[in-house]
């Protein structure tokens, strides 16, 4: 669906994209992760034709990206592009007409979009009366008004409470089920873990690793990760090294990579006679992968 090959972008002598390469298959959700300043927004702007790049290629449906096929793209930016005093329906009508949609087709499409984001009951409500979650859903509806094949969601759940975030996740999963191809940027690793079939991690303007979550987990040489609290951290690290366990600090928490799964008693026995106050086991998560490859 979308292919980017060796994309480079400079601002003066500063490199923002340094040979970025990725491929998003039709019908999948691809998560693009990275800290602020790693090139996510620049990549999106290049795809959408808002920014020229210095070298490299972007293809959509096997055709070079151009004004002709960029109409197949819908984008939901971080900031809601909504007119607060207009109703939900009026906002959709305005954006639909910008795309040159005919009145009859647009009327039907507005109904479809409002139903898709569960806002039909609010069709005549001014945007300023809607909750933050409803406004984010309407922002997605705007991005869908012209029936795009490829949807870009730039941090769609930023600033939402937990309930609104779950509703947004359900909507994104439903769009995928209906055949939508989606590029998702997010700082919420749990979100990428739940929604994305493939994930790319950006650093220094290039993708340093990408693939399915299962494939990325192979980068962590552990079957499970054990976090311990102890007043004898130095001794615990020494004992862990003797056992052949890699150790890491996640925040201020000391953790060990276990090459095989052990029950709690086995772990405590291995660390005898060190006094351990608490111990927590968990499987390898995207958080561990992200921290490892971007350190």
DSSP string, 268-294: HHHTTTS--SEEEEE---HHHHHHHHH
pLDDT in tens, 188-210: 999 999 999 999 999 989 999 99
Q: Which of 201, 217, 233 is the last residue of a domain?
A: 217
The answer to whether residues 152 and 211 belong to one domain is yes
Q: Which of 168, 191, 217 is the last residue of a domain?
A: 217
The H-assigned helical ranges of the chain are: 40-47, 88-98, 103-116, 132-144, 162-177, 189-195, 213-217, 233-242, 264-270, 286-294
The answer to whether residues 120 and 245 belong to one domain is no
Torsion angle defined by CA atoms of residues 7, 10, 15 and 21, in that order, rounded to the nearest 10 degrees: -10
Domain containing 55 — which CATH number? 3.40.50.300
Cα separation of 98 and 144, whole Å? 13
By CB atoms closer than 10 A (0-12, 13-18, 19+), residue 103 is exposed
The answer to whether residues 186 and 245 belong to one domain is no
The answer to whether residues 213 and 228 belong to one domain is no
pLDDT in tens, 109-157: 999 999 988 899 999 999 999 998 899 889 999 999 999 999 999 998 8
Q: How many domains does the chain have?
A: 2
Domain that residue 81 falls in: 2-217
Do residues 122 and 104 touch, judged by C-beta distance below 8 A? Answer: no
pTM (predicted TM-score): 0.89
The answer to whether residues 111 and 179 belong to one domain is yes
């Amino acid at each position: 669906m979308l292919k980017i090959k060796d994309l480079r972008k400079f601002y003066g002598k500063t490199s923002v994209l340094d040979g970025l390469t990725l491929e998003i298959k039709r019908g999948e959700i691809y998560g693009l992760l990275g800290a602020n300043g790693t090139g996510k927004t620049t990549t999106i702007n290049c795809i959408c034709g808002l920014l020229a790049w210095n070298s490299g290629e972007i293809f959509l449906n096997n055709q070079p990206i151009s004004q002709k096929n960029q109409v197949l793209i819908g984008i939901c930016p971080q900031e809601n592009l909504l007119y607060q005093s207009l109703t939900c329906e009026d906002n959709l009508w305005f954006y639909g007409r910008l795309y040159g949609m005919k009145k009859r087709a647009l009327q039907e499409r507005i109904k479809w979009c409002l139903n898709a984001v569960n806002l039909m009951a609010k069709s005549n409500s001014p945007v300023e009366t809607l909750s933050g979650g409803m406004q984010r859903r309407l922002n997605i509806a705007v991005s869908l008004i012209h029936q795009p094949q490829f949807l870009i969601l730039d941090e769609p759940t930023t600033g939402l409470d937990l309930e609104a975030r779950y509703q947004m996740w359900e909507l994104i999963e439903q769009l995928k089920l209906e055949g939508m191809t989606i590029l998702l940027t997010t700082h919420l690793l749990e979100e990428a873990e739940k929604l994305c079939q493939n994930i790319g991690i950006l650093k220094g303007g290039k993708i340093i690793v990408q693939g399915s979550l299962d494939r990325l987990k192979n980068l962590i040489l552990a079957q499970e990760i054990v976090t311990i609290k102890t007043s004898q951290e130095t001794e615990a690290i020494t004992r862990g090294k003797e056992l052949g366990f890699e150790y890491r600090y996640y925040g201020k928490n000391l953790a060990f990579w276990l090459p095989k799964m052990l029950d709690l008693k086995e772990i405590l026995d291995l660390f005898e006679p060190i006094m351990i106050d608490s111990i927590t086991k968990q499987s390898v998560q995207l958080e561990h992968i992200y921290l490892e490859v971007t350190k």
